[in-house]
Amino acid sequence: MAVLRPGARLRSVTCTTEVVVVRAVGEADLRCGGQPMVDVSAPDGSAGEPAPGFDGGTQIGKRYGDEETGVEVLCTKAGAGSISLGEVVLNVQGAKPLPSSD
């Protein structure tokens, strides 16, 4: 587990996915493709392909989050791996409705 901080830039070791942490609450086991994510400045230590069940892919510009823990990340580079907190795959966050201007 790593301590996540808003603004931290992380990358996957199983694919090309990169994210920026938007919201975080202390320690979290943030993974991509079934493997822990690392800082973007960490040396390249490829861990192969995304694991089955964690190979749904990520989309650039989409936010992925977990409402229970409050963790939210923004995908800045798409890849083949799915982002997860431990074994739980994070969902794409929908657009927040704007207030009406009546």
In this prediction the pTM is 0.86
Q: Cβ atoms within 10 A of the Cβ of 84, count?
A: 23
What phi, psi does 61 have (nearest 5°)? 85, -5
Query: Mind listing the pLDDT tens digit for each residue in 59-97?
Result: 999 999 998 888 999 999 999 999 999 999 999 988 777
pLDDT tens-digit readout, 48-59 = 889 999 999 999
Domain extents in the chain = 2-92
- Cβ–Cβ under 8 Å, residues 9 and 18: yes
Task: Residue 68: count other Cβ atoms within 10 Å of its Cβ.
Answer: 8
The one-letter amino acid code at 45 reads G
Kind plus residue range of the DSSP H or E element containing 102: none
